[in-house]
Amino acid sequence: MKFVRKEIGKMPIEEYAPDEQKGVKSNMALNINPFGVSKKVLNRLKSIKESTITHYYSENRDLLKAIAKYTEVSSQNILLGDGCDGCLEMIAHTFVESNDEVLIPTPTFHRYEFHVNMMGGKVRFSPMLNFELKAEKILALTNKHQFKILFLCNPNNPTGVPINKSELQKIIKCFKGLIVIDEALADGTNVSSISLLKKHKNLIITRSFSKIMGLAALRIGYIVANKELIQQIRKITSPFKANGLAQELALEAVKDVTHVEISVKNIAKQREYLFNELDKINLEYTDSITTNFLLDISSLNKNTEKIISNLKKNGVLVTDTKAFKLSKKSYLRIAVSNKQENKFFIKEIKKIK
């Protein structure tokens, strides 16, 4: 259409989204906390007053203070957004200009590429070796290209693998452009680059309430960066960007440390169960520390799309990995679920074997 921006014309009509259908017995595609949301959040939801819904909303100062305490930074270093993806969109809108070069290691979350393309930027991909990020390879590319932004996901989606700390520090120390680290999966792990913000002014971190805190449908997340960067990003966003109801419930979620701790233990237990069962049938997987991992089904000697389709017919949902730019087509992304659904998934995958 003649009125549409050229960048929009090049975008795909259909975007990746979790598949939903009736009759699902095992949903291994939902990259969320399978043990739900904090009871304190649900109790707060029951007590919400009409004014919370009918009034206009801006940044909840109590929530900013709670996040500041949780992340050990000043509230001036925090900007709320509509989920981690909404934060990534704000970052792209603030910094990516037409023809800016952006570097993205693969495989990883495909929305970094989406937001860069939307702004007319140029994406260069750097495939990882055995799903490991190597500073030497990343920095070698910077000698040939003038990258404005480097997008990193830590722990990575879809592999669930964290970036080696020494490799990450080498990159942060030497990369001249902006470094955006998506830490949506970091809560409940020992992964965090927030302590590096004081020393490195070109670092931006995005976090989410969608994963371990269980508020995916409410679309609430936040950016952590130095004050100057936060001020610039704030210019392009709406004062009503973050859902007011979501902010009220996020405040309860971030304060309920016990729920996070219990969820992490339960997820680890179920992840270990899946790994042990997959070992028994000699299927390889990535060494994840989060809710998701890649499963290599090449040894099954069957068409990946047919396997996904057959699992779906039998009530099991898994994630097709086409969007993640993997070197092989024989991978599925699996998200750890609860005990019952994990067992059903294993039963069905064993039938294929």
Condensed to tens digits (0 to 9), the pLDDT of residues 285-312 reads: 999 999 999 999 999 988 999 999 999 9
The dihedral over CA atoms of 20, 24, 28, 29, expressed in degrees to the nearest 10, equals -10
| Domain annotation covers residue 11 | no
Strands 284-285 and 147-153 come out as unpaired
Of residues 12 and 156, the one with the higher pLDDT is 156
β-pair partners for 292: 335
Q: Which two tokens stand for residue 228?
A: 């100057």
Condensed to tens digits (0 to 9), the pLDDT of residues 117-129 reads: 999 999 999 999 9
pLDDT at res. 353: 66
Full residue range of the structural domain in which residue 325 is found: 22-36+258-352
pLDDT at res. 15: 63
Report the number of distinct structural domains present in the chain.
Answer: 2
On whether both 115 and 57 belong to a single domain, the answer is: yes
Condensed to tens digits (0 to 9), the pLDDT of residues 61-99 reads: 999 999 999 999 999 999 999 999 999 999 999 999 999
On whether both 297 and 336 belong to a single domain, the answer is: yes
On whether both 269 and 326 belong to a single domain, the answer is: yes
On whether both 78 and 156 belong to a single domain, the answer is: yes
Strands 316-317 and 26-27 come out as parallel
Instruction: Look at the alpha carbons of 72, 77, 83, 87 in this order and tell me if their dihedral is positive or negative.
Output: negative
Residue after which a domain boundary falls, among 255, 270, 287: 255
The dihedral over CA atoms of 17, 22, 23, 25, expressed in degrees to the nearest 10, equals 30
Q: Which two tokens stand for residue 73?
A: 């930074």
Residue range 232-243: mean pLDDT, rounded: 91
Taking 80 as the threshold, does the pLDDT of residue 2 lie above it?
no
Strands 101-106 and 147-153 come out as parallel
Taking 60 as the threshold, does the pLDDT of residue 18 lie above it?
no
On whether both 328 and 295 belong to a single domain, the answer is: yes
